[in-house]
Structure 1
Amino acid sequence: MAGTELEPRDRLRCVIIGAGMAGLLAGIRLKEKGDQFVIYEKGDKVGGTWRENRYPGLTCDVPAHAYTYSFAPNPEWSQFYAPGPEIQHYFERIADDYGIREHIRFGAEVAACRYFEGLWHITLSDGSTDVADVVIAATGVLHHPRTPDIPGLDSFAGDCFHSTRWDDTVPLDGRRIGVIGNGSTGVQIVSALSERASRLVHFQRSPQWIMPVQNFIYSETDRHAFRSDVSNIDAIRFGQDYWGGIRRFNAAIIDADSPEMAEIEAIVLRNLEESVTDPELREKLRPSYRAACKRLIYSPNYYAAVQRPNVFIETGPIERVEPEGVRMRDGTLHALDLLVLATGFHADRFVRPMIMTGRDGADLNQAWAVRPTAYYAITIPDFPNLFLLNGPTAPVGNFSLIDIAERQWAYIDQLLDLLRQGQCSAVAASHDALADYEERRITAARHTIFGSGCTSWYLDAHGVPLTWPWSYDRFAEAMAAPKLSDFELA
């Protein structure tokens, strides 16, 4: 550890990668500390996933009042689960209200970050460069679209695009529409388009368990109450209904044999049995794996949507895509005008494909050769002064990632204080600390519901859930203060 010969710094020079939820949070907090920073954003707007996703039916599956920064409640939400455009507007407003927009360079994609001589040297895709004491990677998880490997996909004569590349100019009403993929995105799109398409085919390799929810509209009287007294908002975002559900779900996923998991399984099974009247369709929609093994889907209306006479569930294997539509292996042709690929993302890339080179030439791709990982999802050995928000092994699932990011930032800020106060010039987790963390995490992760026998984007290349496998409260405790003996300070 560096000693007292280092002088305290007036301010750090920081580069933040990404102007989504986490990047804006980092900018707000750094501005409060008086640090110098710039946010490089490859897109043309703030918002991250809420900028990229504009598909019909887009909503957040976390209650709107819980999906806000703790310091910036929003009394104007129109409904309990906010639609995507409102969430995007919220982040746009936050960028303006907190004076962050002036620190953002839009259309600026980071190509490489290299650490040498005690500094991070950043290269952008246009060839321009920057230098920083600290790099904050707020790149998110779900931003590299996954396109299915289906023969003939390029031959389709109609409109075809990934759900994150929605073409707003393409008409929807009265058209024959196919949706491939049935995660949250596919479920939301099918629910939204079921009343607009003349024929809607939902192609799914495996069905989903659906948790029933009610998405009620807030009246003007409700919003006036939220504006008048923030305690009305706090009753939702900090109330027992929300946090009781969080803890129930968390207890369930970390112990697949728990009473909480049995309760969840009973709810989703009853939802299927009581909501779907046709026996044949019901069996098509019955998953063969346990509830929450894949990310649990929350929907108020999917089962109602797929029972409309113009909606068809297709569970057979796809043979190929033809100019006229999708040909199934049994020879059936589904003639389509529009094909939507709700096929998810490459969830294991995180900051990649940018080149990340750490101390003594350490290469991130090599460090992540087995699986992407970081000590408590935040810091990587041999990459000093690089901090990740919602990095690999962070808590995922049906939680508010804003809350997760705020707790992570509180942890990171304590490490930044070591730099600000001159206690060291570089900080990163040790190899031993990461190895110990990963050994404990992997052992626990194999016994979570995510490891109970299904395929999902939660699993790494070796079938191990790439998730936080312990309780939410344990995460909060871990984020309260870094264990400095697990760090290398230089």
Structure 2
Amino acid sequence: MDTGFRIAVIGAGASGIMALIRLAEAGYEDVVCFEKADDLGGTWRDNRYPGVACDVPSHAYRYSFAPNPDWTHVWATGEELLAYFREVAERRDVVRRIRFGHEALSARFEDGRWRLETSQGPQGAFDVVVTATGVLHHPVVPEIEGLQDFRGRAFHTARWPEDETLEGKRVAVIGSGSTATQLVGAATGRTARLSLFQRTAQWILPLPNKEIPPERREEFRADPEALAAEYDKLNRRQVELFAAAIVNENPGAYAKLVEACEAHVATVADPELRARLTPDYQVGCKRLVMSSEFYEAIQRPNAELVVDPIRRILPGGIETEDGVVREFDVIVLATGFDTHRFFRPMRVEGPGGATLDEAWAEANRSYLTVATPGFPNWFMIGGPSSPIGNFSWLMTAETQFDYILALIGRVARGEARALAPRAEAMDRFEAAARERVQDTVWASGCRSWYIDRNGHVASWPWTFERFADVLRAPDWRDFEDVLAPVE
């Protein structure tokens, strides 16, 4: 491959590592990855709170090209996942391509190439940029009066202090999603008191995290075909049953999800507590939470569920709207992430000076989740409307990158200088997605991180099979070379 052809990858999380490996396999040599942190791993590097784990089965949450027979549990912990990504990156020799401590600040399309600047200064020109920044890296910190005046420790779960154990402390957890649920399940037994401040109840599927027996792991090591069969089985279950149920393509599977969630919350003994823990929206409208420990933990004598809104934070604790003041040593913000910022606050300026912020002023928009009109050779893993349901993100990322490789190849071979989707092609896709999403459970009336600031559901509204089929190969009629001479 011509070494004069330069590719920039932004982000060294799970998607970025995969992109580096696949680009190397395809023969692209001049590839640089810019990572804002001092280590790789993305979500699994940043989140190290007690109880952090994946909500996708271990043997389904791995690269298709890097099977791992040694997962110790059905649902891998964050620590185990981070170790996996580090090992794969080192074994495939892509760490040398990563420039750590380089936060991407701006990209400007000039003379047919992207000129990048990071926190370490200008980085030169690149023919193609691939963003692999994910959606779970901008923590949401709520604006609560007095938060800065709290005398104890207050931090977001994605900024967990290395020396914080919560042992014997009075702990407030603000939030009630997956992170809060995992944290409460893992930490209640070690705290003096734990109060969970819940704004919205969550539907929770029981998730018994059993150990994978050593003999089963040995079987996988000895028989790669058995390991591959396990991967295929779990992915098929996730895609054909769970993912299809949420987009109204498998009513039978959806009915079973509802039954399982309702039966699980019914295990809460106190009827008043059970009522406060029971959501008033449809199962799956928000991302389903997985836990077998939460309901047991929140019923312990030292645990408390608080549903009164927070009025303010005092130097020694939290005051709720009913006037009750509770004293705490630690406040943990399990308040999630801004999933619609993507690679912002990076400034992206296309030909003629138009910015991506301007193009996305009303909503984040894409063509088939991977590209945007007016921004040539700018390709996204996990772009707007990507599938972000309860199944493997790595499957989504690999599917998108196969498609992106085809786009890169067209530019690298000189068949196009500046490749971008046509505006009408994106409009067609966006209109179809908006219409289809009305038939999904996401549009049934709840607030969730699937919904953007303008009330639009920003997730793939069809089955994953359709996603894989549509992204199997580009339809070149939907693309244009924006620098091609006008005939």
Same fold (TM over 0.5): yes
Please give the alpha-carbon distance, in whole angstroms, between the structure 2 residues aligned to 1:203 and 1:230. Answer: 46
Please give the alpha-carbon distance, in whole angstroms, between the structure 1 residues aligned to 2:213 and 2:371. Answer: 44
Contact kept, 8 Å, 1:13 with 1:132, in 2: the verdict is: yes
**Cross-structure match for 1:138:** 132
Unmatched runs of 5 consecutive residues or more in structure 2: none
Please give the alpha-carbon distance, in whole angstroms, between the structure 2 residues aligned to 1:195 and 1:246. Answer: 35
Identity %: 42
The 3-state SS of whatever aligns with 1:85 is helix
Amino acid paired to 1:282: R
Which of the residues 10, 14, 18 maps onto 1:25? 18
**Cross-structure match for 1:247:** 240
Contact kept, 8 Å, 1:446 with 1:464, in 2: the verdict is: no
Could you tell me how far 1:45 is from its partner in structure 2?
0.6
Contact kept, 8 Å, 2:239 with 2:465, in 1: the verdict is: no
Amino acid paired to 2:52: L
Could you tell me how far 1:299 is from its partner in structure 2?
0.9
Unmatched runs of 5 consecutive residues or more in structure 1: 1-7
TM-score by length of 2: 0.96
Which of the residues 118, 132, 145 maps onto 2:112? 118
- Cα 1:11–1:32, aligned 2, differ >3 Å: closer, same or farther? farther
Name whichever of 183-192 and 242-251 sits farther off. 242-251
Which of the residues 284, 287, 302 maps onto 1:292? 284
Could you tell me how far 1:83 is from its partner in structure 2?
0.3
Amino acid paired to 1:94: V
Amino acid paired to 1:216: K
**Cross-structure match for 1:269:** 262
State yes or no: 1:454 paired with 2:442: no
**Cross-structure match for 2:342:** 350
**Cross-structure match for 1:5:** none
Contact kept, 8 Å, 1:187 with 1:302, in 2: the verdict is: yes
Name whichever of 227-236 and 11-20 sits farther off. 227-236
Could you tell me how far 1:10 is from its partner in structure 2?
6.1
Contact kept, 8 Å, 2:249 with 2:463, in 1: the verdict is: no
Deviations 1:221-278 (A, max 9, x none): 2221121112232232111x552343222222112993332221121111111x1111
Deviations 1:42-61 (A, max 9, x none): 00111011111111100000
- Cα 1:99–1:221, aligned 2, differ >3 Å: closer, same or farther? same
**Cross-structure match for 1:203:** 197
Please give the alpha-carbon distance, in whole angstroms, between the structure 2 residues aligned to 1:248 and 1:410. Answer: 24
Deviations 1:69-105 (A, max 9, x none): 0010111211010000110011111111011011110
Could you tell me how far 1:337 is from its partner in structure 2?
0.7
Please give the alpha-carbon distance, in whole angstroms, between the structure 1 residues aligned to 2:217 and 2:57. Answer: 15
**Cross-structure match for 1:341:** 333
Please give the alpha-carbon distance, in whole angstroms, between the structure 2 residues aligned to 1:242 and 1:276. Answer: 32
Please give the alpha-carbon distance, in whole angstroms, between the structure 2 residues aligned to 1:236 and 1:328. Answer: 49
Q: How does 1:178-327 map to 2 (within 5 A)?
A: 178-239=172-233, 242-255=235-248, 258-273=251-266, 275-327=267-319
Alpha-carbon RMSD across the aligned residues, in angstroms, is: 1.4
Contact kept, 8 Å, 1:290 with 1:452, in 2: the verdict is: yes
- Cα 1:108–1:382, aligned 2, differ >3 Å: closer, same or farther? same
State yes or no: 1:375 paired with 2:367: yes
Deviations 1:81-140 (A, max 9, x none): 000011001111111101101111000111100111100000112323221000001111
Amino acid paired to 2:329: D
Contact kept, 8 Å, 1:198 with 1:310, in 2: the verdict is: yes
State yes or no: 1:65 paired with 2:77: no
Deviations 1:452-482 (A, max 9, x none): 1011111012211101000111001011011
Amino acid paired to 1:312: E
**Cross-structure match for 1:409:** 401
**Cross-structure match for 2:150:** 156
Please give the alpha-carbon distance, in whole angstroms, between the structure 1 residues aligned to 2:201 and 2:336. Answer: 15
TM-score by length of 1: 0.96
Contact kept, 8 Å, 1:159 with 1:170, in 2: the verdict is: no
Amino acid paired to 2:253: E
